[in-house]
Structure formats: C-alpha cells, structure tokens
Structure 1
C-alpha cells in the first residue's frame, strides 16, 4: 500500500454477505470444511469463490520427498491494530497467531523456512507497531524456526528514496530486524551494507535452497550485492523475495508488470538461472505469471497480499509444498487466525482456506532438469512423506465449525425489501428513464424528501451538461430491489452534477442524536482515475463545519459535516462530525474497492456503544470510528447525491453510479438492510367457504391478510368439474392496510373443491395455503366424484398442492364481476409453482 492514514479503530460485528452486480450461483456453507470466501469488492475483491472438499486422510502409498515453504504476506494492519483492536477483542492478533501456528506445525508439515514479504508495520515511526511485530516474529525465534524478513514501503521512514539514501543506522527496520537479529538464526549468511536486505541458506530433503530477501526500492548497489551473493553460491537454487514486483489487474486475476518487476528482471533475475521463483506482496490481491529467463527456463513469479481483505488480511498465509519426487510445487492459502476465533465472532468472510485460481494451485517443475545447469547433483530426498498439503488442510479444518449460513434471496420485484422503522428518506430510481433533467423527480418513497437536479448552468461545475446524469436499469446491484440507478458521467473535481433535497425538506434538519443508519449501492466507473476522481463523494449532508462550532483544523474545516465517498486509493471513506462538535472529525475507512463493481455500503452509528461502523457488502471494515454518537448538522442545508460540498459549494463529482439510498434515524442490524427480502410468511386466509355449501349458493368469498402490494393468487387444485383454458386465474392485490379479498360469483359447480392461495412479489412467492369445501348437488343431480375432502378451515400446504383432476367439460365463474375460467386458474397455480421453483433455483446463500 502506498499511503498511510490516521488511526481509526474497529468495531466488529456480524455481517451478511451480499453479491455485487448481476446474480451468479453461489454455494452454501459447508460446516467444518469450508475453504473459500465470497468476493470483497464488496470488502476488497481479494477472495475467490468456491467450496473446498472435505479434508480426508492421504493414501498411505502416496509417499514422496516433500517439504513446506511458508510465506507471510503484508502484516501491516495486524501490527497497527494489535494493541487497541485485536488484543482487547481476541487476546492476540493475526500476526502472532500465524507465527505460533507455523512454529507449532513446523515438524509435522516439514517447514524448514518462512519468508516475510514486507510491510511488517503500517507506520514506520510508531513504536507500538514494531513491538507487536517483534512479539509475533519472536515466536519463530524462540522455536528455532528460521525466516527471512525485508522492509516494505511502510517499514522505512522515506519510501520515496532508494535504500542506500536512507539513514539505515537509525531506520526502525534495522533496529528491530537488522543483521544482528538475523545473525541469531542458523540459516543466516549475510546482509547488504544497509542491513535492509539479507540472505539465508536452508536445507530441505538433503538439498540446499537460498532465500534472497531484497529491500523496498533497492538501489543499483543493492542489486550488485545480490549478484555477488549469487556468484558466491552458484549451485544453490534461489527463491527471491521483495516487497513489490508484479502487480494484479482490476479483474483481480491477471498479472501486470511494474517498473520494479521489469528492472529486477532485467538486472538480476533473467541472467541468473538459479532464481526459479519470486515472491512479492504490496499490490492488493493474488496472481502469478511464468517468464522464460536467458537460459530458456521458467521463472515462477507469485504475488500474495491480503491486507485489504477483511480484518486486514484475516490471517491468510501461503504454504508452498515442494514435492521433489513428483516434481510439483503446490500452494495452499490458509488462515490459522480464522480457525482460532470464537464461533460467535465469525462472519461470512471467515473461511479457513481459499480455493481461488491464484490461491490454490500446483506448478509442474522437473527439479532435476530445471536445476541441471547449475546444480547437476540435485536429487530428491527419501520418499517418506505423505501429502503435506493435505495434512495442512486437515490441521486447519480440525474442529473448525464455520459461520452459520444466512440465506439471501434475489428480489422478486421492486417491492421486495424490508421496510425499516424510523426511515427518514428512501430514494429510489425505478420508473425513471433516460436523462435526469429539470423535470425529473427522484421519489422519496418514505416521505416528502424528493430529489431533483439543479441546472448545471446554475452551479460552479465546469462543462457539465444535462446528459451527464442518466438512469441505468441493465447494470445494477443484484440485491437491490429497486432495479435502477443514477449514473454520473464525465465527473471530476471541477465537473460535477448532483441531486438535492429541497431547501425545506424535513430530512435536512433531521435529529440523528439517537444514532442512524445510512445505506446505499454504489459503483465506480470503469475508467475511474485517482487523479481526477479521488476524494469524490456520493452522499453528502451539506453545510460548513467552520460555521457549526468545529475547532479549526488543517484539513476539511470548511467541508460538509458528513460525507461518504472514495479516497485516492479507492477506499470508501465516511467522515462525520458527531453531536459533540468539539470532538472534531470521526472517520471510517474501507479496504480497496474495485472499479466497475457494485457494492452495498451501510454506515451504522450506535450511541450506546459510541461507535460508527461501516459495512461493505455486509462485512464490517477494519478501520472504524469510536467515541462518536449522533451526527451534527447545519440547519436548513440539504442532502445531496453525486458530489462533495466544500467552501459552501458543490465540487468533486462522483464518477460512477448510485443506487437506492436510505437514511434511518437509529442503528440497525443486517436483517433490516436493503439487501434482505420482504417477509412473505405472514400471509393468512382468514375468511373462506367451509364444509358443504347449499346447492343454491351463488357466491363464495376468500379474504385475509398479507404483505401490502403483494399479488394474491387463487387457483383450484383438485375437484374441478370444468376448466376454461383461455381465461386468467383469480388474483387481487393486498391493500395498504394489509388486507385482501377475492369474491367468486355465478356458475359455481356442485361437488368438492380444493383451492390454493398464495401471495407473491414478482418471482418470489409464499407457501400456498389450501381451502377445501364442497357445494351440494341440486336435488336429483348426481354428485361429481373427487378425492378432495372438505375441510372446515384453511390449511397450509407446505409441499405444494395436489394435481388437479376432473378437467372435462366447461364451466365459468365470475370473480369480482369478471368471468374467470377454473382451468386458466389452474394454469395460474402452475405458473405460481413454476415461479416458486425458479426462485428456489436462484436462491442465494451467504454466510454470516
């Protein structure tokens, strides 16, 4: 990571995992053996989806010459938040848990060596962070478990200069992890003159390997030192580690060359056949590539960095199994931290193993052939080890009871969301289309706080036109029932557009002293650029901090009291002044957010805990605000969507889309959020025909309660005397008071009848309830035979209604004055059943 931010503590809570953008199939939690994670686009886009197979014992005849090389990617946030977040909550931190697990399992997994990839701490000048890192790595020291370690950009006092330009004698890295400490390890062979780079030679399976650890922003002198090391040990295979080499593309899969990777390749790697593998962190994600060196041999380059994932990386480390017999190197990415957490603290992002494309794989490498040019005597050791990869998985999964799953369904229609008590404003875009112009009104479905768009000519925007804001319906967040969004194009610091509440809107002066919840769906455009679009906002409570008593600060003193937006590093930032304006700004930060990917963002302020927690796609971010309650305001100032507000005017337009947005005057929990579905289980039939009715009956009534706006369908499922296939089934809509009624008149046939009733919101339906009754035959008329049994009261049908029978002849009935065919009604119930089946097939399951 290339920049630092101020201290922002975390408030951990359980989250609900939701999927971005379009629906895609996911699989349910497999308790005790789950090994994948949902994408964190939603919380950083670093974890690939998939479910691991249950761990099982390796075949006894699968013995080979094997060892495990362990890798610790960026630990900066573990060190930063150890003392004030992790230890108070868990009694330890992920960093110390990682090293303890390596030490405890070094013998069983045959781990001769561990490599740390840099960014040991987040802020090089903060001693407490070094103390946390020191305590974690001391576990390996005490266990005589050798390791290499190198400084990343966060571990040096000036990351903008070459390593030789630093005052290395006073650098914190050399104080805590310099040559003197490294020399205590049996594998240590030397350091460069700065003390920032080092090399080790370790033995595994009777063969020697080198770990060559090169510092951040290495100079030509350091690369010359590294060349000298290689020249002095010409027969030793080398794993080169450095903090920054290859990068990963926005698709979180494709590798990208960088200036560091190209320079290191040209000046050191390609010309030294000994270097067969490189490892780096720094860039947020995981990827790999293979390049041919000057000898025509493969060099495997691997990126591994999880710092922007949940809880600063959630304790994920790399375990490379070297199988010298079968000529493979296989990677497992696992988290000892996840399996050590209390069950009640687990979220959907707590998966012990990751099975993504670049998180679990095998590399084919003929070691003897690959090393023949410089180590012709290289051979495998004794074939006496079972699969270490399998054993690592078994150790991690042993006794682990994964997070309980929460089923989250896709919305059936635009009404399929949970209405939350205390909603002050809920802006939705469905029903709108085209350009958002002066006549467009974005309705507040919860009150009278509609949004409109100011004429660009009346703002300070440079070059903005009406065409800059349009309504999008084809690409929206999959779990937003709104089905539409406003998209802001060609935005920058000076070119912007925004939607605003009216000057007299009630929400402008809303009192949020008892807490609040802000929810929205947002997406950055695919061509989002940090220089043009960094620090832009998508939701702002306008005003001027300097005019409401906030003490003068160096930054943002004339900014709005509250704003939610994106940093120049693509981190969601929520900045707000609490009720206590003298306490100043309180800020939340997410991990890195991917462009062109929808995210659900919820910000929850709870005065009872004096905390504000930001959730991205259901997961709480690591850097949250504490000692905060409520929200300050400047009376009469509107809320806006699409821009920031500084110096009493809009600026910094949002370059991307904004979906439905809601403000609630209290803290909420995930079960109340817009990603959840309306409760259809309350459907009731309270009035229906019973038992046997007289032959003279000409009208029957069905009535009950349901979800306002839901469609109630009535269809006969048995005992049909006749059908009419060209007529629709009987339906009605639940009114605003939650009541519904269907009345059938005229032409009722004699005999038994069984009627199925259910309510639905589009494709999502409640379980059907059935009503059985009969109509007596007129004197002298034979009673039609049927298997249906009249019942005195409606009864639920949990597994579906029985198939229809008695489908000959023709008879029609009127429903609320209209002529309805029983057979078409049967078609209606089949459609309802088909819809329910389709809903079941697309049921999304996430884990909390």
Structure 2
C-alpha cells in the first residue's frame, strides 16, 4: 500500500520492466529531426537516499550532471524535490556540489523543496529560512524571472528552439500566499506555454495516476483555469505513473509522476528526459541512469541500466495551440510562374461553386478548370491551407460519386494534348479527411481523364487512367502513369500519411526517371525504370482535379481538401517547389 503525506515514500509495488545490459542496443532511440526545432528538458526526481545522515553519496548525482552537461539541445534541468533525506545542513551541502557542474556550464536549473528537504515538513512555503533554502536559492537564479517572498516558489523562462516556455517550480506545500503569487505569474504570462514542477501532485499505486489532496489543490487553483499549462511533473510517490485530464478550456493536460528512489542504490540519480520536437508536435520521454552506465556493473546495476516501463518511456502529443505551424506570407500568382509553367490553379474565393463555374489558370496559358458532376454537395472555397502554400485558401470536396463535384480542364485547354517528353513536375497541396475511410481511398488529386486502353496500351490494368496522382487505402500517395516510351505502367509510392493535416507532393521526371517528393523529401519507392513523357496527350482528353475515372467513366470522388496545383514542363529541383 502506498504511503503518502509527510513520509513521502511509496511502498514496493510491481516494478518496472528493466532492460538488461545485453539488450541495451535494442532500445529505441529518440527520432531525429533535421529542422533543429528540438530541445530537451531534464527532470531529476527524489535523490534523498543518496544523502542520508552520515551516508553521503554525491557520485551518482554528479555523474548525472556530467552526462547532462554534454547533452545536445538541453535547455533546462528541474529537480523535483526530496534532494536529501533529513533536511540536515551536511546533507544539503553534499547534494549541492553536483549542481556546480551545471553552474559552470551555465545550464539553467531549478530545485524545489520536498518534505524530506525540510527540518519540519509540517510547514508550508512561508516556513522561513532552512539549510535547503540557504543553499539552493542563490544557485538557481539563472533565467529565473520571479521568486515569491518566502523564497520557495520561483518561475523561469525556457527558450525551447525559439519558442518561449514558462516553468513554475513550486514548493511541496503551497500556502494561500504562494498560490496567489503563482496565479499572478500565470496571469502575467497568459500566452506562454507553461510547465509546472511540484513535489506532491499525482500518485500511481494502482498503476493509474490519481491526484493527491495537494495535487487537487494545484489543479483547481493553478492548472484548470489556465489553458497555457499543458504539463505538470512531480515526484514524492512511487512507482512512476501518469494521468491526462482536460482543463476548463477542454484542452488535455499531462500530469506525470517520476520517481525511482525505490530502485537499487536509491535510483542512482536517474534522470527523465523530455525531448520536445516542435515540428512533429510530440514529446518523447525516456529515463536513463548515467551513473550505472558510466561504471562497471554489479548484478543489480545490470537490471537497472535503462528503465523501459510504459511509464518511463513514452510519447505524448503537444497541444495544437502550442505548436501552430509557421505560416508564410501569401505569395502572388506571378511569383510562382517560373520557366516552363504550363498550368497553375489557385482556389481563391468564397462560398460554393456551382456546376459550370470556372477556375482560371493563373499561368495565362488558357487551361481553365470547369466544375462538373452532380454538385448536390458542391465544392466550396475555404480559408484553410498548407502553411507554406502560396495562396492562403483551398477547395473542400465532401460529396460522393452520386452527389459531389470535381473539376475538368476545358475542352480546348492546351494541357490536354501535352505529352511532357522533356520532363515534368506536377505539384499539389492537399489534406485528407479525418477519419480516413474506404470512401476516401483511391480517388485522385489530379488525373488524366482517359484510360490507358484508350491511349493505346494493352498491358496491365488498362481501364485505369493513363496518369493519376491518387491516394490508396493506406493512405499512401501513388503516381501511376503509362509513359510514352513504355507499354506498361510505372508507379511511384509514398508512405502512409496522417490525416487531417496538410501535405505537399511533387512528382518530378527528368526525361529518364521519376521521383516523388512529400513535403520536399524524396520518398523511398521511386522506380529505377527509365520512363519518358506521358501517354494520352494524343487523345486530347481533359485532366481532372478531385476525381478518378475507370474506363473513362467517373469512379471515385476526392474527399478532403486541395490547394494550389502547378504543372511545369521540366524537372524542378526541390528548391524550386512551391513549398520552398
């Protein structure tokens, strides 16, 4: 049974799954990010058993600090309290020395008081001077923007890959004055994403996170009413656990418990790493024990080389409001008319589009699009778009084969007869619906409205279009074409796409090979087959946007959104794409 309150200790529970030394190489590494919008917050929970009376072992904590001082992308270190066992001056002095490593490296950090750090834990944050406060208050001034009158609560700014965060480091027992101070900081930083560290908040004796009495106070007074708070981390209890709650604004808040003091050697100053990836909009969490990694291993140390339970290694999504996409300023159509532009369609307007409505070709080459289909559920303009799209709007497709609408190039459009013998680049912005179902599968962003059979081909699925940029049931992008120099089809395949987000696709042919790019990145399944040009131009058949034909007849309607489309009669480098 878990012990709480003043003891601050948890009884033995089902232990985490611990990775043996010989399996260490199999542990998943944090994913890479080329953008650089990645940073790490390190959290060190209860180290009290290393500093207990005359039993003083600063080496594990020093090893953790050394490891952190060399960690690329580290922006802040937060200790969760119970630094020492009895709040004695000699304990605090021994525990203070490893923090000097961070001071010398100019790495900002915070240290909050746990119940064991205090001579009298029956006190709140107005308790006055203690050996803990005397030692750590002067050390933690780097990037501290505020400190309460009692000295036990403080606030820090954290620069996370160009995004400003606020970290509140709060005492183990908040007073009325302490809560008022914390609220004033939150209100003064209402637009800043905020992390709270506090010693006592969530326990997880049953395996599921449960808020303690003090945790409920923190939630009610400092979390629920403040939508910028998205993460709270505490120690105090064991085993580790987590809980997600919705605040008053309906936003999810992650409530995490991290504590390893019940493990061998008092947890050996295990450290939890929160790796924020703002482009993936994900935080990857892992737990490591640098002291054990650094030395020769005894039998028990081998068992605790890395902690890999579901509560020690996991990921969670950042709130969308925290990581809004960096949106570029709209660019005029003229800026997109590079050499070789054959067609360029931008979907700018308001309201629905009736059957027969025209969308102009911004290239000036006369390839207008005309709305076709039943249009019971018409196409509609939307102000939604990819953050890097030149135009800030798109078309929404929401009808079925029986009720929807699509677009066809005009009968006299020059692009209908284009064969692209010298190469091509087809680009489009699009978004898949949420959820993505079978109704959405195998329609096309853009396709040639003529079958391969009608284009003179006899091998393969010749009722399919002579050229199509489609999305499979995966959903994966597919560029399937019948080249002018081959009797069969050649296909490029993308990877599985997440729905309800915008993508950019480009397919580029240099007269010999075709390469697909998704958001400017080359995919893996690009065929090595030499292929030149596109069949079907000799028929003069139109191109369709938002529909797929079979044997020359409407078969599938696109569901989702389509933004700017540009067709260029030469191979473009990624730096020339509309997304660049």
Alignment partner, residue 119 of structure 2 = 157
> Are positions 1:347 and 2:310 aligned together?
no
Alignment partner, residue 540 of structure 2 = none
Alignment partner, residue 499 of structure 2 = none
DSSP-derived class of the 1:347 partner: helix
**Separation (CA, whole Å) in 2 of partners of 1:349 and 1:149:** 29
Alignment partner, residue 286 of structure 2 = 332
> Are positions 1:245 and 2:196 aligned together?
no
Alignment partner, residue 319 of structure 1 = 273
Aligned to 2:80, which of 117, 124, 140?
A: 117
**Separation (CA, whole Å) in 2 of partners of 1:134 and 1:181:** 9
Alignment partner, residue 376 of structure 2 = none
Aligned to 1:265, which of 206, 219, 224?
A: 219
CA contact (8 A) 2:118 2:132 kept: yes
CA contact (8 A) 1:211 1:238 kept: yes
Q: CA deviation at 1:48?
A: 2.4
Aligned ranges for residues 365-380 of structure 1 at < 5 Å?
A: 365-366=318-319, 369-371=320-322, 379=326
Q: Cα gap change, 1:44/1:96 in structure 2, threshold over 3 Å: closer, same or farther?
A: farther
Q: TM-score, normalised by structure 2?
A: 0.52
User: What CA deviation, in whole Å up to 9, does each residue of 1:367-402 have, x standing for no partner?
Assistant: xx2338xxxx77599xxxxxxxxxxxxxxxxxxxxx
Q: Cα gap change, 1:270/1:85 in structure 2, threshold over 3 Å: closer, same or farther?
A: closer
**Separation (CA, whole Å) in 1 of partners of 2:327 and 2:66:** 29
Q: CA deviation at 1:341?
A: 2.2
CA contact (8 A) 1:338 1:350 kept: no
Q: Cα gap change, 1:302/1:232 in structure 2, threshold over 3 Å: closer, same or farther?
A: same
Aligned ranges for residues 443-592 of structure 1 at < 5 Å?
A: none
Q: CA deviation at 1:58?
A: 8.0
CA contact (8 A) 1:64 1:326 kept: no
CA contact (8 A) 1:207 1:378 kept: no
User: What CA deviation, in whole Å up to 9, does each residue of 1:1-29 have, x standing for no partner?
Assistant: 75679xxxxxxxxxxxxxxxxxxxxxxxx
Q: Cα gap change, 1:85/1:194 in structure 2, threshold over 3 Å: closer, same or farther?
A: closer
Alignment partner, residue 98 of structure 1 = 64
CA contact (8 A) 1:324 1:380 kept: no
User: What CA deviation, in whole Å up to 9, does each residue of 1:386-422 have, x standing for no partner?
Assistant: xxxxxxxxxxxxxxxxxxxxxxxxxxxxxxxxxxxxx
Q: Cα gap change, 1:85/1:119 in structure 2, threshold over 3 Å: closer, same or farther?
A: closer
**Separation (CA, whole Å) in 2 of partners of 1:140 and 1:132:** 15
**Separation (CA, whole Å) in 2 of partners of 1:238 and 1:58:** 23
CA contact (8 A) 1:248 1:255 kept: yes
> Are positions 1:362 and 2:315 aligned together?
yes
CA contact (8 A) 2:237 2:257 kept: yes
Alignment partner, residue 733 of structure 1 = none
DSSP-derived class of the 1:202 partner: strand
DSSP-derived class of the 1:285 partner: coil
User: What CA deviation, in whole Å up to 9, does each residue of 1:682-716 have, x standing for no partner?
Assistant: xxxxxxxxxxxxxxxxxxxxxxxxxxxxxxxxxxx
Alignment gaps of 5+ in structure 2: 329-580
Aligned to 1:47, which of 5, 8, 16?
A: 16
Alignment partner, residue 256 of structure 2 = 302
Aligned ranges for residues 692-731 of structure 1 at < 5 Å?
A: none
**Separation (CA, whole Å) in 1 of partners of 2:151 and 2:326:** 34
Alignment partner, residue 516 of structure 2 = none
**Separation (CA, whole Å) in 2 of partners of 1:356 and 1:304:** 12
Cα RMSD (Å) of the superposition? 2.8
Aligned to 1:174, which of 133, 137, 141?
A: 133
Alignment partner, residue 206 of structure 1 = 162
**Separation (CA, whole Å) in 2 of partners of 1:2 and 1:143:** 36
DSSP-derived class of the 1:370 partner: coil
Q: CA deviation at 1:358?
A: 0.5
Aligned to 1:71, which of 43, 48, 64?
A: 43
Alignment partner, residue 506 of structure 2 = none
CA contact (8 A) 1:207 1:379 kept: no
Query: Which is greater in Rg?
Result: 1
Alignment gaps of 5+ in structure 1: 6-39, 87-91, 382-848
Q: Cα gap change, 1:219/1:140 in structure 2, threshold over 3 Å: closer, same or farther?
A: same
CA contact (8 A) 1:216 1:244 kept: yes
**Separation (CA, whole Å) in 2 of partners of 1:319 and 1:156:** 27
CA contact (8 A) 1:255 1:287 kept: yes
**Separation (CA, whole Å) in 2 of partners of 1:326 and 1:233:** 25
Q: CA deviation at 1:216?
A: 1.1
**Separation (CA, whole Å) in 1 of partners of 2:140 and 2:31:** 39
